[in-house]
Amino acid sequence: MESAKPTLAVALADERLGKGWQRSRTRIRVVAVLASLTAALIVYGLFDRFRVTPGEAKPDRQLIAAVDMRVGNPAGAAERGEAKARADVEAGLLQLEVFGPATPAAKAQSLKHRYGFAWLVKGKEADALTQAHADAYNRVMQAEIERKHGREVLDQLMGERGLSPVKPKEGP
């Protein structure tokens, strides 16, 4: 029995020191380290794939559009009216924009035949934008009618519709 004591004492001492009946843990530790490295690489790969890396924070893309503020602006409507009138003069059209009832067909035909002129009826009533467009258009057209046919013809045409001539644009 005495021989059993030393083996029991050796076994207890080995167990306290970490040696003894236990298997080597180096294999388990190697597997654990490899598994954690693999997990870290997978997470890094996912972050890289979806571009979720620190330092690359980009603001959200915003919809940016150019808005022409002249659309609802009488000054913009006047610019467009003048441009349209110049284009019509170059095309050889003489016409004035008016609001209200249309000119009778016989009278319109007579004006077209005699002066090459037509009334362009834009509607029954004008709002601020359409009136600004018509005034600018008519200013350019009246100058052209006066140049081609004289002031008397312009006054006669304007008097038929009960209109007064639009004042020429002042300033630069």
In degrees rounded to 5, what are phi and psi of residue 95? Answer: -155, 155
- Of 34-43, 54-63, 78-87, 154-163, least confident by mean pLDDT is 54-63
Entry pTM:
0.55
pLDDT category, 136, cuts 50, 70, 90?
very high
> Which of 84, 87, 85, 72 lies closest to 129, judged by CA?
72
Domain ranges of the chain: 4-49, 74-161
**% of the chain exceeding 90 in pLDDT:** 21
Structure tokens at 134: 């018509």
In degrees rounded to 5, what are phi and psi of residue 121? Answer: -80, 120
pLDDT category, 88, cuts 50, 70, 90?
very high
- The Cα 36–Cα 75 span in angstroms is 70
Highest mean pLDDT among 21-25, 35-39, 107-111: 35-39
What is the number of H-type helices and E-type strands within the chain?
Answer: 6, 2
Mean pLDDT for the chain overall: 79
**Whole-number pLDDT of residue 122:** 84
**Whole-number pLDDT of residue 41:** 92
- The Cα 58–Cα 45 span in angstroms is 20
In degrees rounded to 5, what are phi and psi of residue 105? Answer: -60, -40
**Whole-number pLDDT of residue 66:** 65
71-101 burial, b if ≥16 CB within 10 A, otherwise e?
eeebebbbebbbebbeebbeeeebbbbbbee
**Whole-number pLDDT of residue 119:** 84
